[in-house]
Amino acid sequence: MKLMMKVKDYLPTILGFIIIAILVAIPTGYEDAVIYKGTDRCSAKVIETDNSTVISSGLIRTGEQFCIVKLLGGKFKGQEAKAYNLLNGSLESDKIFEKGDKALVVISYQQDEIISVNMIDHYRIPGAIILAALFVVFLILFAGKSGMRSILAFVITILMIWKVMVPCYLNGMNPVLVGLGIVVVLVVIIIGFVYGFDIRSVAAISGSLLGVGTTCIMGIIFTDVFKIHGAVMSNSESLLYAGYQNLNLTQIFMSSIFIGASGAMMDLAVDITSAVHEVVEKKPEIGWKEAVSSGINIGKAAMGTMTTTLLLAYSGGYIALLMVFMAQGTPIYNILNYKYVSAEILETVVGSFGLVTVAPFTALVSGILLTRKKAHSSRTS
């Protein structure tokens, strides 16, 4: 019996590793993109810099920076080569290298001869690995087994987006249906990691999916009402110019609304389910109506902060834009009518509608299921 309990306890973790292995093995179909054929990528150390052809006009710099770099990996490891860094006059994308810096470079070559070395950006992968490792260690030390499952859920989410959702979108599949399918799978997996094979999973998953469905329907309706085109998303037009004119950017934007809000919905559903479970555990004689009422009261308190969470998540990247509006004295009436501002309002408000749906439904389902489970356990014991 104890062995069966241990197997049941570790089964979600085992399944998590299996899912990750499968997702890693799945090809995206875009591994050999034409733009990167006949090239090698590696890190390189900047030995010398030449800024003689860089033209500075105040904050803006254009032209080319040339550097002598030592290649630290790949086919030409250990060799020195002349590399170029093209400056387009954009503070957002341009970078300037100094002696001693590490850069990510793309090497164009024929056979054993280097044709050109393009400096892509500063080499940040070691820093990212250190940061991720610290996060993993901290999470496991603090949360133990639950922390390990959280990491697995995190990795699975990244792989599902990169290995499944993005290729499906690029292949012209319906973004709304693909997005819904991805979210449903992730909701089941992530909440399953939290509770395992338990009745609480059913309650939390049901509440989350109702919120996702509500957000999806409202997002489709009000994207059309607001006349929002999907090109409002950053870098979306680049896809069209890269030969993907068949993509429906508006439907991709619609899917981004419920995908972006799904995390908060899962969070709220799990919070309410856990709270109702605690109430039922501490007071076994409680009726389902009282349990549901407790869940709704908890949901009311949580919804206020969750709505604000969505607002901050969606608008956090627009601080500079808001500063521009204020500096130019743009009237609020104008601001609210701009397409990209309306898109943010749409995402925030529609996502909040989903949260409002999640709270009472999760409270209802968890109240009924968990009190029945407790009553059944009491009778059998």
Query: For 105-158, how does the pLDDT look when each residue is reduced to its tens digit (9 = 90+)?
Result: 999 998 888 999 999 999 999 999 999 999 999 998 988 888 888 899 999 999
User: 193 and 109 share a domain?
Assistant: no
User: 104 and 216 share a domain?
Assistant: no
Tens digit of each residue's pLDDT (9 = 90 or more) over 331-364: 988 988 988 889 988 988 898 888 889 989 999 9
Helices (H), 283-328: 288-315, 319-328
Whether 239 maps to a domain, the answer reads yes
- Structure-derived torsion over alpha carbons of residues 205, 208, 214, 218, reported in degrees to the nearest 10: -140
Q: Which residue has the tokens 């501002």?
A: 341
d(CA 211, CA 218): 11
pTM for the structure as a whole: 0.85
Which CATH number covers residue 369? 1.20.1640
Whether 355 maps to a domain, the answer reads yes
pLDDT band at 50 (very low <50, low <70, confident <90, very high): very high
Domain range for 277 is: 172-380
Which CATH number covers residue 59? 2.40.50
Number of domain units in the chain: 2
User: 102 and 186 share a domain?
Assistant: no
Say what the pLDDT of residue 4 is: 54
Question: Within a 10 A sphere around the Cβ of 288, how many other Cβ atoms?
Answer: 19
Tens digit of each residue's pLDDT (9 = 90 or more) over 65-90: 999 999 999 889 999 999 999 998 88
Burial (CB < 10 A; 0-12, 13-18, 19+), residue 361, is buried
Say what the pLDDT of residue 185 is: 96
Say what the pLDDT of residue 304 is: 72
User: 348 and 229 share a domain?
Assistant: yes
Whether 152 maps to a domain, the answer reads no
User: 295 and 221 share a domain?
Assistant: yes
Is residue 238 scored above 60 in pLDDT? Answer: yes
Q: What is the percent of the chain where pLDDT is above 70?
A: 94
Max Cα-Cα span within the chain: 85
User: 286 and 176 share a domain?
Assistant: yes
